[in-house]
Amino acid sequence: MSMSRIQVHGSLHTIIFALLSMLFLASCGEEEKPLEKEVIRPVRAMELSDTGQMRERTFPGTAKATKEVELSFRVAGPLITLPVKVGDKVTKGDVLTRIDPRDFEVALANIQGQLNKAQANSKRAQSEYDRELRIMKQDAGATSQVAVDRKKSSRDQTRAEITSLSASVASSKDQLSYTYLRAPFDGVVVNTFVENFESVKAGQKIIRLIDNSRIEMVVNIPESLISIVPHVQKVYVRFDSFPDRTLDATVKEIASEASQTTRTYPVTLIMDQPSDVTILPGMAGKTVGADVENREELMAQGIEVPVSALFTSPGSNETFVWVINESDKTVIQRQVLVGELTDHGIMVTDGLKAGEWIATAGVNYLQEGQQVRILQNEKG
């Protein structure tokens, strides 16, 4: 084969390889790229509320006594009396049960005897010291300073012994008094954990006592409404056991920290025990309304939101929140005007209205029009 034919043959192979490579690359370029799935970011959010929702919404809770205690002895021993039973009403100071006091009485008598002896010894030591001092003054040669100091030391020793034994007597008297278990307040016996004549240990549960003259109920209030609670004058409560009976309650205590899981604040209500029905600890109930003082004034102050819901754009002093569109769950940036800080957030005086949803955390990671998934409905 001539050199020219070899060159033509080689060039033909080169052209064919180049054409095939171009076709391959073109076919690869025509392949459809997989569509990137839009990331739906989970966010914590809340629905904005106004003072009217304190009257319209219900908040469940459970009744509990204003005072409740499980009583125990501070000393050990066998019981000799247990006069109360479950359901008994008792008065503050009543003896509920008692431990056999004989061992404690013997111990007290022994310590008291030692104290009496020490007091007699101290009196004698004082007399001897006084006598030695008189001799020293009348005739210095009849005694010595060493003898005087010895008498003084003996007297001081007996005084120290009296101090120690006096403390032991006081302790023994306390131990004897601990054999009584008395009611610390007026109440009702709701449980007994031992039987009479049973030997009990110090700290062992003996009797459970409650004071149900007043009833408490803890309800969880969302953070969007917690700023209104201090202005609540009266709360109306209804228990499941008495659905036709509505009780008047007031706010006793407002927690200063929200639950990390529910973002709600525990609020303790308190009410008098009614005369016509008896509310027992553990009964389920709910609020069915509330009276808010200065309602119009509070509404004019704006809507309280968590500080974490606010953000600013780079290079701007304006304040924004992310409003969540309920229909498609996308976020929209909205400028707001803010007012004073509160115990639980900050007041927004313009730009928001009750019923809207806003993001309350992770606001710096959201983008306009981004779709979100609400982690937890914190309806306010």
**pLDDT of 273-332, one tens digit each?**
998 899 999 999 999 988 887 666 666 677 888 888 899 877 778 899 999 988 888 999
Q: Which single residue is written with the structure tokens 């049960």?
A: 97
pLDDT at 3: 45
Q: Which single residue is written with the structure tokens 């391959």?
A: 24
Fold of 52-65+211-296: Elongation Factor Tu (Ef-tu); domain 3 (2.40.30)
pLDDT tens-digit series, residues 232-252: 889 999 999 999 999 999 999
Would you say 72 and 203 are in contact if contact means Cβ atoms under 8 Å apart? yes
CA distances from 238 to 63, 197, 372 (A): 11, 44, 38
Across the beta sheet with 199-200, what order do the strands follow? 180-182, 95-99, 77-81, 199-200
Q: Where are the domains of the chain?
A: 52-65+211-296, 67-101+179-207, 102-177, 301-379
Asked if pLDDT for residue 264 goes beyond 90, the answer is no
Tokens of 14: 């080169």
pLDDT at 18: 59
Which strand (E) or helix (H) includes residue 290? strand 284-292
Would you say 206 and 192 are in contact if contact means Cβ atoms under 8 Å apart? yes
Q: What are phi and psi of 208, to 5 degrees?
A: -105, 125
Name the pLDDT band for 30 (thresholds 50, 70, 90): very low
| CATH number attached to the domain at 67-101+179-207 | 2.40.50.100
Tokens of 40: 């739906």
Where does residue 8 rank: exposed (0-12), middle (13-18), buried (19+ CB within 10 A)? exposed
CATH class of the domain defined by 301-379? mainly beta
Average pLDDT, the chain: 85
Would you say 169 and 108 are in contact if contact means Cβ atoms under 8 Å apart? yes
Kindly give the residue spans of alpha helices, DSSP state H, lying in 139-189: 145-177
